[in-house]
Structure formats: C-alpha cells, structure tokens
Amino acid sequence: MTEILIVPVGSSPDPAPLRDLATVHVVGPTDPHLPAALARADGLVVWDGMHDGVADAWAAAAPRRLRWVHTSSAGPDRLLFPALRAHPSTLTCSRGVLDGDIAEYVLACVLAFLKDLPTTVRLQDRHHWQHRVTRSLAGRRVLVVGAGSIGTRVARVFTALGAPVDGVVRTARPAAPPFGALHGPQDLPAVVADHDVVVVTAPLSPATRGLVGADVVAAMRPGTIVVNVGRGPVVDEDALRRALTGGRLGGVALDVWDREPLPADSPWWDTPGAIVSPHLAGDAEGFTRRLQDLLREQVRRFTAGEELLHVVDEEHGYATTPTVTT
C-alpha cells in the first residue's frame, strides 16, 4: 500500500480520513526517526509551515520512491530548498483554499483606512465625539501585484465594488477580466503612480524578492494604501515605513513579514497608520477543514495515479494552474 508521511510543523492534519487510501505515518520534524520514515515514503506532506528538520533529513528521500511532496501552504517557497528542487518528486501546494478569506481581509484593511476606523476606535476609547469626513472606495484604482488565484479573487471583490483593478504578472499580456490591464514587473515603478491602492499577493521567488522596492515606494502617489498578503520579502518594509511616517502614504497593512514572528521591539507595532497582523489573513473559521479536504483529494489522486492538483513550477515558485481566470 502507498505510504504517506506527514510531518507536522505548527499543527497536524487528522490522518484518519486518509487511512482508507494509504498507509499514513506522522513523524515530527525533530524526531530522530524522520530520516528512516522519509526513506520509506512514497508521498510527503509538510503541514503548517516548514522546519529545518525536513531539509536536514532530505538526503534519506529515495529518488525512485518519493514521488510527491505536498505543502498545506498556498505559497510553496519555504519548501523550495535546493535539494528538493533537484529531486524528481512532484511538488504541490494548497492553492485556492484560502483565496476568499484573504480577499475579504484585504478589503477589510482597505476600508478600515478609507473609513478611518482606527481613529474611530481610538476616539471611542477616549469617549470623544469627533465628526469627520471619510473616503469612498468606488472609483479608486487598485493595483494587484501578483495575479494568481488570490490576486484574481482580490480583483473580483474590488471590481464588484466599483474600483477598477490592474495587475502585475510575470510577463505582460493583454487585459483579462477581472483585470483592466496586466503589466510586467519591469513596468511596476511607472504604473504604481496611477493607482490609489496597491495589494501585494505575489509568491516569494528569486524574481519577486524585493519587487516592491524603495524605487516603487517612492513612485507611489500621495495617500496610497498598501496591503501585503503575499510574502514579507517581496516588499521593502523599511522603505514603506519611512514613506508612512513621512506622511506620504495613506495606510500600510502588513500580514506577512520579512521576519516572522515580528519581533516585539519592531517599530512597526507603534507606527501610526499601520495595521500589523500575524500572518492570519486566510485563517478564517473552517480553513483547516478545507485544507484537509484538499489533502484527501490529493492523496486519492496520487494513489489512483491521477493528475495532481496545484502542481508547483519550482523555478518560479507557484502552482502551474492558469495565472488569470475569468
């Protein structure tokens, strides 16, 4: 029977629903038995994060036996260490499961800034009545950096509310709904100035690391709202914070960080105009069940010899399903 090895990092899926499909073993990332378990595995599931123990044990992965590796993350970047890239196994990720909740979170952050909700909460704490005029979302132009499944869901949400959306993709191409235009990354410094909201959903890869750099931040129009739900190293956090504290930006919401957890002494915690959240944008009620449902379907397909879902292009760091859907 096919042997599936689950390595739980932060949490663990319930192996019971998989045991009618395969022999399932659960071995922790620091367990001394991990190399032996990896040597026997036909499929490997790394759940809820990544741990150096997986990379350290990787030499035991038999090239002719281990044929499939799956991560519970939508972004597979943390698993793309050199030895795995060189291994012939197929890597899949959990693309699509968290898209709706992440898009809702992005919308919540943008509306919080436009409707000045942080100030309202602070004034409420002081029992102070202060009438103010807020801003509308309709008509504001949104730029989504990364037009994969999450970026596409974000675009649909904003276009439904009257905010036109353009995208930045690996290679510029003709417009495809819900995007009004699809620019290449080399165009980002030029086109960012035409938008009021910048949402980063791009996965981390060599091509996207530092993509939203100091030059892009400097080109943003005054009052721009920036939200990052992709990966922390895609943006220059220091440049964003300087622009925010200097009064150039209208708000910055970061759910992902260059260093996680964000250190307690980070200046971001006390930065006016910032929303700091601990990588939770997609973690809404029921998300673990949906991740486990996808895992079961992947195990079923693997054991049946069927095509796997969300196969990762290991060179570019994202699933090879269509970049833009309608």
- Say how far apart CA 30 and CA 53 lie, in whole Å: 6
Please pick, among 231, 237, 310, 314, the residue that the annotation labels catalytic.
Answer: 231
Phi, psi angle pair for 195, to nearest 5°: -125, 150
Assess whether 127 carries a catalytic annotation.
no
**Residue position matching structure tokens 């036109």:** 164
Q: Which residues pair with 166 in a beta bridge?
A: 143
**Is the Cβ–Cβ distance between 159 and 136 less than 8 Å?**
no
Q: Which amino acid would we find at residue 24? A: V
- Say how far apart CA 130 and CA 120 lie, in whole Å: 9
- Say how far apart CA 10 and CA 202 lie, in whole Å: 23
Please pick, among 19, 122, 260, 289, the residue that the annotation labels catalytic.
Answer: 260
Of 79, 82, 88, which is closest to residue 61 (Cα–Cα)? 88
Parallel, antiparallel or unpaired: strands 3-8 and 23-26: parallel
Helical (H) or strand (E) element with 72: none
**Is the Cβ–Cβ distance between 228 and 253 less than 8 Å?**
yes
Assess whether 279 carries a catalytic annotation.
yes
- Say how far apart CA 149 and CA 320 lie, in whole Å: 11
Assess whether 131 carries a catalytic annotation.
no
Tokens, residue 235: 């943006």
Tokens, residue 8: 């739980």
Please pick, among 78, 141, 242, 279, the residue that the annotation labels catalytic.
Answer: 279
Just list the catalytic residues.
231, 260, 279
